[in-house]
Amino acid sequence: MNRFAKTRNLWIGMAMAMAAAGALPAADDLPKAETILDKYIEVTGGKAAYAKVHSETSTGVMDFSAMGLKGKMVAYHAEPNYSLVEINLEGMGKILEGSNGEVAWTVNSMQGPRIKEGDERGEALLHARFNADLLWRDLYSHAETAGVESIDGKDCYKVVLTPKSGNPITKWYDKESGLLLKMRVKANSPMGEIDSDSVVSDYRKEGDILTAHKVVQHAATLEIGLTLESVKYNAEVPKDKFELPDEIKALLKKPAK
C-alpha cells in the first residue's frame, strides 16, 4: 500500500470514528427548555398543586441598602391577572403598583400617579399573570435552552423565554435541584430600558408549594432585597383590593393628548 493510500485510509478511519461519536449523545447534551420548565413545576409542587391555587397574599420586608431605606411589603395576586403591591417605606411614604387585568398603574408619594402604556404596560400585565410558571406555554411564543452557566457555584441551565410581545426573559435553573436561582429581564420604564437581575433563594414549603422566600434584585445602580415573612394561598382577598385608585381613575378620564 503506497503512502497516499495509507493517508486516505487514515482520513476515512478518522471520519468514521468522528461520525460514530457524533451519532452518540454527548455527555452533557442540553435538555429542551420545556423539560426544564416542567421540571421546575414538578419539584416545587406539581401541576395539580398549582391548579388548586387561585390567589396569593404575601408579606415581607424590603431593603433598599444603597439608600438606607427599609419598608414593609404586602402583595395580593389573584387569577387571572389581578395584582396589587403595597410598599410602606420608612420616612418616604407609600408606593402602590397594580393591575386589574386591563390597566397597569403605579402611585407613589414622590412621583404621584401614573398609568403604564405601551411595552411597559404589556410587561406589567405579563408579570401580573397568575400561575405564570404553570401557564408558560400560553404566555411565551418560544423557549430555548441557551447553555450552562454557574450561579453562586451551582451549574444552571440558562433558559431564554420570548413573550408574544416585549423583551425576552432569561432564567437560570439549578441542574441538580431544578429550582430557579436567577432571572434577568430588560424592564421598560419612563427612563428607558433597564436591565434587572434577580437572585432567588431560601425555598420553603408553603402549603403544597415550594416557594422562594428571598429575592435580591439589581437594577441599574440599585440593590433591592426582599425577604418574605409569610405566604398564604387561597386566603380571601377583599374584592376592592384590585379596584383602580381614585388618582388613576382621574387620569383615565383626562382626554388623550
Report the domain count for the chain.
Answer: 1
- Residue 164 DSSP code: S
- Cα 109 to Cα 33, 88, 187, 253: the distances in Å are 42, 10, 22, 21
What are the pLDDT digits (tens) for 19-52?
333 333 343 589 999 999 999 999 999 999 999 9
Let me know if residue 2 belongs to a domain. no
pLDDT attached to residue 256: 65
Say yes or no to pLDDT of 1 above 60: no
What are the pLDDT digits (tens) for 154-206?
999 999 999 988 889 999 999 999 999 999 998 766 667 788 999 999 999 99
Alpha-carbon gap, residue 202 to 128, rounded angstroms: 23
Say yes or no to pLDDT of 210 above 60: yes
pLDDT attached to residue 54: 96
**Span 89-106, mean pLDDT?**
91
pLDDT attached to residue 44: 98
Say yes or no to pLDDT of 18 above 60: no
pLDDT attached to residue 23: 37
Cα distance from N-terminal residue to C-terminal residue, the chain: 87
179 contact partners, CB below 8 Å, separation of at least 6: 40, 43, 44, 173, 203, 210, 212
Let me know if residue 225 belongs to a domain. yes
Let me know if residue 82 belongs to a domain. yes
Say yes or no to pLDDT of 15 above 50: no
Q: Residue 73 maps to which CATH number?
A: 2.50.20.10
pLDDT attached to residue 26: 42
When pLDDT is cut at 50, 70 and 90, the band that residue 220 belongs to is: confident
Q: What percentage of the chain has pLDDT greater than the value 90?
A: 67
Query: What is the amino acid identity at position 108?
Result: N
**Span 91-98, mean pLDDT?**
89
pLDDT attached to residue 222: 84
Let me know if residue 21 belongs to a domain. no
pLDDT attached to residue 109: 81
Say yes or no to pLDDT of 122 above 60: yes
- Helix H or strand E encompassing 16: helix 3-23
pLDDT attached to residue 22: 39
**The C-alpha cell of 11 is what?**
482520513
Let me know if residue 83 belongs to a domain. yes
Residue 166 Rama label (left phi>0; alpha psi -120 to 50; beta): left
Let me know if residue 39 belongs to a domain. yes
Helix/strand/coil percentages in the chain, nearest 5: 25, 45, 25
Let me know if residue 22 belongs to a domain. no
pTM, full prediction: 0.83
Query: What is the amino acid identity at position 205?
Result: K
Let me know if residue 23 belongs to a domain. no
Structural domain boundaries, residue 39: 31-253
For the chain, what is the mean pLDDT?
A: 86
